Amino acid sequence: MGAGAGPIATAVEHVDRTDPAYAAADVTVCRAGSATTAELAHVGVTVADIRLDS
């Protein structure tokens, strides 16, 4: 990357409105909850799901 190209990734703790975040995302890395997995499948964003044991 050249100088001033900007970040290639942004990490966030929580997003209240997911639709703008999903629209801006090329790839997501998130907890593999059933609701999140269904939302990402619906919008067609590439995802790396991380299983979180309870």
pTM: 0.59
- How high is the pLDDT of residue 2? 57
- How high is the pLDDT of residue 3? 63
Sign of the torsion formed by the C-alpha atoms of 14, 18, 20 and 24 = positive
7-32: buried (b, 16+ CB within 10 Å) or exposed (e) per residue?
eeeeeeeeeeebeeebeebeebebee
**Tens digit of pLDDT for each residue in 13-44?**
888 888 888 888 888 888 888 888 888 889 88
- How high is the pLDDT of residue 1? 52
Give residue for tokens 């001033």.
Answer: 4
